[in-house]
Structure 1
Amino acid sequence: MLDAIGNRPVAKATIGDRLDRMPITAMHRRLTAVIGVGLLFDIFENNLSGTISKVLQEDFAFDGTTLKLVLASAFVGQFIGSLVLGRVADRYGRRRAFLVNLALYSGFSLLGAFSPNAAWLIATRFLAGIGIGAEQTLSDCYLADVLPAAKRGRYIAWAYTLAFCGVPAVGFAALWLVPLSPLGIDGWRWLFVIGSLGSAVVWLLRRRLIESPRWLAANGRTEEAERLVTLMEAQAPAGETRAADPAEPTPAPSAADRTPERTRLRVIFHPRYRRRTVMLWTFSVLSVFGYYGFGSLVPQILAAKGYDIVAGLGYTALTFLGYPVGSALSLPVIDRFERKVLVAASAGSMVVTGLGFAYAGSASLMVAFGFGYTLTSNVFSNASHVYLAEQYPTAFRAAASGAAYSLSKLSAAALPFVLLPVLEGHGPGALFTVIAVAMAVMAVTVLALGDRTTGDSVDGVRS
């Protein structure tokens, strides 16, 4: 095996071998469930502003620029959070970063519920975004750290299947609460309260997470890593093959390996990683056109088609049902097919169903194509999350992945300024044509530059 930048041989990483060859245990399932519930609130957050954008526009009498700032503010915060908390996770541990990110999100989301004006709302959405921005980065890296190689894709997809229940939850909760004022408080404000209190509960659950044994071993805390892996092996079902003999612990890294140099982001431009970094950054910038371009703007698209707020929320909620269904459908295929091929194929399906949605002549066809779009987009999303987490070694995986994720958030923040003028000036057909071009370029880039990763150990990243 080579070190983080591929320069010299190092001792065999037996902690990683044992984790990769371990059967699925009750602890794996519990960790996956806790991560999935936390991701649910990340998904809830990412779709919240877009889902209620028309309501906010009416309540606060936003002009066009202010609406774009409201939609963009959370994503700008997520850009910063993904960069900063990814570095925190590599330096101080995955578990500690999890606690910081949810605490920030919960607090500022609650403050957002009491927004008296647009400036307050934009500020609290931005600050809540800093907290939740690293959630997907941290979750993907953590699960990639602890799950066996052969089951990694399937169980990360399970976590996201649970999480994507948050998308229709936003839609139906908005449909139910927006026309009401429980306790004399506007219905949309309760959606922020739900996000805040729910994430506070998840914060309590995550206090009991174990630290990543791979991260511990990579940072010289070998005894702790050994103890956790042994505990996980002890839970393996009787009669199932276990990992290699644990007698030889992972050697502690040298002092040079533990220096800050190891986790500086410039390592991702080393010749060994340069091609995959270009691929991931291109992917991150363009993929959000297809994913968030629909999810965050669908109420605006429906308004452009002539539907009022209540009807638009109802149709939005119905199309959002495809998110958890698509995530569930990815489970039997995500470890069977090569990850980059699955990403490209599902992106192509999004292009077809998106154009169908844009040109649908009836409400039933529109809902059918919208459901198909969200379904295929979550096959795409799950394959993408697993694929991104497989690109870099443990020592700087969270920071490097966070850099790529941060670009997707910055791109998502720009979407209202790019896509809304297209929608307003040229209609849904032009909007989805722009999305189709972005997704096509992204798919070609992944196929041309991406490595094959399905079934490989994350400790044995291909050179």
Structure 2
Amino acid sequence: MASSVETGTIQTDVPARMDRLPWARWHWLIVVGLGTVWILDGLEVTIVGSMSDALKPSSTGLGMDSTDIGIAGAVYVAGACIGALFFGQLTDRFGRKKLFMLTLGVYAVGTVLTAFSMNPLWYFVCRAITGTGIGGEYAAINSAIDELIPKAYRGRVDVAINGSFWVGAAAGSLLTIPLLDPKVLDPSFGWRLAFGLGAVLALGILFVRRNVPESPRWLFIHGREQEADEVVAGIERTVADEDGVQLEPVEETITIRQRRTIPLSLIARTVVTMYPKRTVLCFSLFLGQAFLYNAFFFTYGDTLSTFLGVKQTGWYLAVFAVSNFVGALALSPLFDSIGRVRMITGTYVVSGVLLGVTGLFLGDLSAIGLTACGAVVFFIASAGASAAYLTASEVFPMETRALCIAFFYAIGTAAGGITGPLIFGKLIDNASADKDITGIAVGYFIGAVLMIGAGLVEAFLGVRAEGQSLENIAKPLTAEEPDRSSAPSAPPAPA
């Protein structure tokens, strides 16, 4: 079978040339063109969380209750899991650029259809379609970002970009204030317009993305080394012209057995048998952050309105969102300086402890107090949650990168992100009769345990990937080695 897919053996310096680049304006094109997917996701999640009251009346909304709101969140996440797995496989097979254009289109279609929902079932189906596009984006975008950003900046850029989810969350929170105000817009029209605005933003991003190149690393492995060299040469010229620098030649090369396709059986065997510790690590990180964020944030607007008498939840959600983004932005450089293991362990454990403490005092908190506690917890948790995507995207071989991101996102999010909103939605419904907010504290405690547990797994199994080339962290499956039967070189020692 190998002979049918292998196309030759080459020696390339593309990874070393990409990693030695200084930060330049060109890299901002990558950040803007690719990173804005998280703004879309934040916009979607926040709009749903903010408009729970608008969706409940049968006259102007869709006649949904708190359990339905939780189901809508779970359906969106389920769609994201399916999309991640489906499009993740295609991303590794057909390239990063084709897929991050396609998945953005799927998202745009899904969110436009959501705006025309006539009943809960239509709404659930459209949420699933929208989630499918977003899930596919995660696989395509994270793999492309890590392969285009120099190793010295990869950690901070990846964490900060993933944290930009909260820019969309803040924007979504503030948008819902006028859109859901009956004095400004008809209540039956405002929530529909909120979804339509997401599609407008997607079209703008699609226009910017046309200028983002295919990953040179993907190109040379798939038999297109000349095109890879041309892409890198173009990037080098752009960076040299923009910064007025003379780029030094590189000596480091890697020998690659090129393949047109990488069998799924080989990918699965690599993840499970060659890197079992990294598999456990990534699943733990995704499970913890998925439950925490999807459970808390999908239903937070419902919590405020049901138990604390808040009519306009947008202001509270905006404060919460800003703290998350500032946290990811402020802490992101530390993932390259202090290191991955210490930072991920610290952010997971500390945020988990603080969440548990918040659950203990839930009955004594006002809307402002609960939002303030949430802002502190998620200021810390945001950077850790973003680092889950960073970890999955850099600790496995390049040929498996997009599918690994998709796999761990899907199983972690399916376990935590689907069950979380369902559990919280049910807890809110059960506790709403007595108007006793302490009835949802168990959800906080579950999230705390999962986050602390994931932090401890990172402490023992984490990979010191800061400042290293992707090819050194995990050798490509197609890389030539002196002994073809030997296992990949040992991964960096865990802390």
Equivalent residues in 2 for 1:21-420 (5 A)? 21-58=20-57, 59-180=61-182, 182=185, 186-234=189-237, 235-236=239-240, 237-239=243-245, 242-244=248-250, 253-254=257-258, 257-261=259-263, 264-310=266-312, 312-355=313-356, 357-358=358-359, 359=361, 360-411=364-415, 412-420=417-425
What SS does the aligned partner of 1:456 have? coil
Alpha-carbon separation, structure 1, partners of 2:335 and 2:288? 22
Residue 403 of structure 1 and its aligned partner are, at CA, apart by 0.6
User: CA deviation digits over 1:41-88, x for unaligned, max 9?
Assistant: 122223332232232123322245433321211111101100011111
What SS does the aligned partner of 1:396 have? helix
Conserved in 1, the CA contact under 8 Å of 2:39 and 2:164? Answer: yes
Conserved in 2, the CA contact under 8 Å of 1:343 and 1:443? Answer: yes
Q: Which amino acid aligns with 1:168?
A: A
TM value normalised by structure 2: 0.84
Give the direction of change, closer, same or farther, for the CA distance of 1:403–1:422 in structure 2 (3 Å limit): same
Q: Does 1:429 align with 2:441?
A: yes
What SS does the aligned partner of 1:253 have? strand
The match for 1:6 is none
What SS does the aligned partner of 2:64 have? coil
Conserved in 2, the CA contact under 8 Å of 1:21 and 1:243? Answer: no
What SS does the aligned partner of 1:165 have? helix
The match for 2:451 is 439
Residue 13 of structure 1 and its aligned partner are, at CA, apart by 4.5
Alpha-carbon separation, structure 2, partners of 1:199 and 1:295? 22
Residue 343 of structure 1 and its aligned partner are, at CA, apart by 1.6
Conserved in 1, the CA contact under 8 Å of 2:173 and 2:317? Answer: yes
The match for 2:486 is none
Q: Which amino acid aligns with 1:199?
A: A
The sequence identity of aligned pairs, in percent, is 23
Unaligned runs of 5+ in 2: 1-8, 432-437, 475-489, 491-495
Alpha-carbon separation, structure 1, partners of 2:277 and 2:347? 23
Q: Which amino acid aligns with 1:68?
A: G
Conserved in 1, the CA contact under 8 Å of 2:296 and 2:421? Answer: no
User: CA deviation digits over 1:305-353, x for unaligned, max 9?
Assistant: 322332x333222222212211221233121122132122112232244
Conserved in 2, the CA contact under 8 Å of 1:322 and 1:371? Answer: yes
Conserved in 2, the CA contact under 8 Å of 1:34 and 1:206? Answer: yes
Alpha-carbon separation, structure 2, partners of 1:307 and 1:357? 19
What SS does the aligned partner of 2:257 have? coil
Give the direction of change, closer, same or farther, for the CA distance of 1:365–1:442 in structure 2 (3 Å limit): same
Conserved in 1, the CA contact under 8 Å of 2:67 and 2:426? Answer: no
Alpha-carbon separation, structure 2, partners of 1:339 and 1:292? 24
Alpha-carbon separation, structure 2, partners of 1:107 and 1:320? 26
Conserved in 1, the CA contact under 8 Å of 2:67 and 2:425? Answer: no
What SS does the aligned partner of 2:178 have? helix
CA RMSD, Structure 1 to Structure 2 (Å) = 2.5
Give the direction of change, closer, same or farther, for the CA distance of 1:54–1:344 in structure 2 (3 Å limit): farther
TM value normalised by structure 1: 0.90
Unaligned runs of 5+ in 1: 1-9
Conserved in 1, the CA contact under 8 Å of 2:423 and 2:443? Answer: no
Give the direction of change, closer, same or farther, for the CA distance of 1:162–1:87 in structure 2 (3 Å limit): same
Give the direction of change, closer, same or farther, for the CA distance of 1:94–1:461 in structure 2 (3 Å limit): same
Bigger drift between 376-385 and 75-84 goes to 376-385
